Amino acid sequence: MRTWRTLMLQTKILIAFILVLFVVIGLTCLIFYYGNMRDTKTHTYSMLNTLSGQYSKTVDFFMDDIEKISLSIFSDPAIQGILANHAQISPKEGLKVRNELFALLFNYAHPRPEIAGIRLLTTDHISYHYEAGSTVNAEVFQEELWQTRLDAMSKSGYLLLPPTSSNEEGYREKNLSLVRHIYRIPRRDKIGSLKIDINAHEMGRLLVYSGSDPLGEQMRVFIVTDEGAVIYDNEDAYTGQRVAAFAHALSTDERKYSGEIDWLDKKYLYTSEKSDYTGWNILILLSNDFLVAKQQEAQIILVIVGLIAAVLASIVAYLIARHVTKPLRELITEMNRVERGDLSGRMDIKNRGELGVLSRVYNNMLNSISRLITEVYESKLAENDARLSALQAQINPHFLYNTLNIMKSISRLKGVEEVAEMSESLADLFKYTMKNLQLPVSLRQELEHVANYMNIQKHRFGDRFALRMEVSEELMNASVLKLTIQPLVENAIIHGFSRKKADAIINIKVCTEGELLLISVSDNGLGMEEQALKKLEQRLAEYSKRSKHDVQEDGEGIGLSNIHQRIQLLYGEGYGVKIAGSQGAGTTVTLIFPYKAFTPMLAEETRQ
C-alpha cells in the first residue's frame, strides 16, 4: 500500500487500466461461453419487442394521419355541398360534379403516394371513384357490408378493412381501406360514405430496419388481425390471405407476447404487439437457425478480439494515462504564473470532458477577476451617465403631455370638436401612464383609462367593434395594478380582430372568488393556435420559477409577460395572468389579484 501511494498518477492509471481490462475480458469470455445462447434469445426477444413496439406506434401514427385526411374530406364544404344536394343534381350537371370532385380529391390524394384511391358514396347509390393518375369515375353501386356495420356505430366511428385485390391490365395491387360515413354539418344527418384505399406496399416504408441487413433478410414482418388475416407481409407472399398458424399464436389475451412458433417446417422466435388504436397485431418472426449461426460467429470474433485487446492493452493504457495527466501539468504551470501576479495566461481548451470543464472554469475565473477590476474603475462613469439619462427621460413625456393639451384648446377654439375629444382622451391616457406604474389604483380609474383608449379607437375604426363591461358598482373600488387591463383590450383589437371587419366584441367581466379578484378580458376574434397558446403558457410558467432578480422585459412593451411579471413581483406567485382559448373561438385573458379595497394609504404602503 505504501508503494502504491508513492507512485505517480500516470503510473497508477496505467496499472489500474490494465488490471481492469484483463478482468473484464476474462469475465466476458466466461459469461459468453456459458450463457450466450440464453442471453442471445433474451436480447433477440427484447430487440424484436422494441421493433414491434416502434413499428406499431409508427403504423398508429400513419393510420391516424389517414384518419385526419378522412376528417378533412368529411368536413370539406364543397364535398358537403355536393353530397347533401346530390339527389337534386341533374344528369347534365353530372360531368361538372365529376370535374369538381376530381379537383378536390386530387388535392387530398396527390401529396400522399400511399393513397391508392378515394371513393365517395352518395345516399342515392352513386359512387364517385378517384384513382391516382386517372379521372373520377361515377357508377351505381349496391350497399356494401361495411356500410351496414358503420350504421351501428357512432357518427364519429370508422372501420379499417383488410387488403383487397384488384386486377387491371395484369397489374395486381393490394389495398387496405379506411371507411366511414359522412354526416351533414351541423345537422348530423347522413349524406354519404367515404372509402380511402391505402396501398399495402406502402406499409413497408414505415419499417425501422433496413431489409438489406443480414437481420432484415432473416426477419419476417407481418401486420395481422386477430383472425389471422394478413394485412401486410414484408415479402408480399401472404398479404390479403389468412394464416391459421398466426391466428393460433395470437389467441392469447395479452397485448404483448413472445414465444416460439413452428411454421413452414422451421422453428421461429416471434413477438407480437397489439395496437390499441387499430386493433392490429404487429408480428415479427426470426429463424432460430440464424441465431445459432450468429452465436458461433460471435464466439470466434470474441476470442480474436480478446487476444488483440490483451496485446494492445498496455499501449492504450499508457497513452490514455499520459493524455489525462498532461492537462493537469499544464494547469499547475499556469496557476504558478497567477500566484506570481500574472493574470494574462489562459488554458487552451482541447476537449469537452472533465478536464475541458476544469480549464474553462479556470479561464472564466481569471476573466471574472479581470472584469471586476475594470468594472470598479468604470462604475463611477456609468453612474453619472445614468443620472443624466434619467433627467432627460423626464423632459420628453411632460413636453408631449403639454403639447396635447395645447392641441385640445386650439381644436375647441377652431370648432374641430372630434380632434379636441381625441386630444383630450390621448392626453388623459398619456398622463395616466406617465408615472407610478407599480402603484395600485382603483378599478374605476383603470376602466376610465380603458374608456379613453376605446374613445380613440372608435374614431379610428368606427363601429367595427364594441366594448361590453360586466362590473358591479361595489367592485369599482377594488385595488388593481395600474395599466394591466388596457393592454389586454389593445391585444384583442390588434391581434384578435386583425381580420374581423364587423361584429367584433370585447367583453370585460369582473368578479370575486373567495379572496381573489378575477378580471377577464374576452374577445370573439381569431383566437390562438394550440401550439402558440402552449408556448405562451410555458413562458408565463417559466417566469414564476425565476427569482425576482431575474426579471427581464419580453421585448413587446407592456405585453402579457410584462403584466404577469409586475403582478407577481407586487403580490406573489399565487397571482398573475391566465390565458385560454382556441383558434377561431376567441381568446380569454384573466388577471388574478388579491381582493382589496383601494385607498390612498394602500398606494403609499406599496410605494414604500
Question: What are the sequence ranges of the domains in the chain?
Answer: 1-204+293-342, 205-292, 343-435, 436-607
For the cut 80, the answer to whether the pLDDT of residue 149 exceeds it is yes
Instruction: Check residue 395 and give its pLDDT.
Output: 38
For 34-101, the DSSP string reads HHHHHHHHHHHHHHHHHHHHHHHHHHHHHHHHHHHHHHHHHH-HHHHHHHHTGGG--GGGHHHHHHHH
Cell 432484415 -> residue? 216
Instruction: Check residue 192 and give its pLDDT.
Output: 92
Strand partners, 283: 222, 272
Strand partners, 222: 233, 283
Give pLDDT tens digits for 490-546.
888 887 777 777 778 899 999 999 899 999 999 888 888 888 888 888 888 877 665
436-607 maps to CATH 3.40.50.1950: no
Cα–Cα–Cα angle for 587, 592, 598, nearest 5°?
A: 125
Give pLDDT tens digits for 291-301.
777 777 777 77
Give pLDDT tens digits for 365-415.
878 877 777 776 666 656 545 554 443 444 345 445 555 555 656 665 565
For the cut 90, the answer to whether the pLDDT of residue 236 exceeds it is no
Cell 379613453 -> residue? 452
* Whether the model pTM is above 0.75: no
- Does 205-292 match 436-607 in CATH topology? no
As given in the structure block, the three cell numbers for residue 478 are: 377594488
Instruction: Check residue 517 and give its pLDDT.
Output: 93
CA distance 575 to 325: 54
Class of domain 205-292: alpha beta
Instruction: Check residue 170 and give its pLDDT.
Output: 36
For the cut 90, the answer to whether the pLDDT of residue 304 exceeds it is no
Enclosing H/E stretch for 282:
strand 281-287
What is each CA distance from 165 to 17, 84, 171, 173, 280, in whole angstroms? Answer: 64, 31, 10, 6, 19
For the cut 80, the answer to whether the pLDDT of residue 104 exceeds it is yes
Closest CA to 457 of 429, 416, 417, 485: 429
pLDDT band at 122 (very low <50, low <70, confident <90, very high): very high
Instruction: Check residue 376 and give its pLDDT.
Output: 67
What is each CA distance from 127 to 97, 119, 161, 181, 596, in whole angstroms? Answer: 12, 7, 18, 13, 68
Cell 403580490 -> residue? 571
Q: What percent of the chain has pLDDT over 90?
A: 13
Average pLDDT, the chain: 78
Instruction: Check residue 470 and give its pLDDT.
Output: 92
Instruction: Check residue 552 and give its pLDDT.
Output: 47
Q: For the beta carbon of residue 341, count every other beta carbon within 10 angstroms.
A: 6
Q: How would CATH label the architecture of 1-204+293-342?
A: 2-Layer Sandwich (3.30)
CA distance 484 to 576: 10
Specify the length of the chain in residues: 608
Instruction: Check residue 450 and give its pLDDT.
Output: 87
Give pLDDT tens digits for 43-67.
888 888 888 888 888 889 988 999 9
CA distance 417 to 312: 95
Instruction: Check residue 187 and give its pLDDT.
Output: 80
Do 190 and 123 meet the contact criterion of CB atoms below 8 Å apart? yes
Instruction: Check residue 180 and give its pLDDT.
Output: 93
Give pLDDT tens digits for 190-228.
999 999 999 888 888 887 664 556 666 778 898 988 888
What is each CA distance from 70 to 102, 186, 201, in whole angstroms? Answer: 16, 17, 20
For 124-164, the DSSP string reads TSEEEEEETTS-EEEEE-PPPHHHHHHHTS-TT--EEEEEE
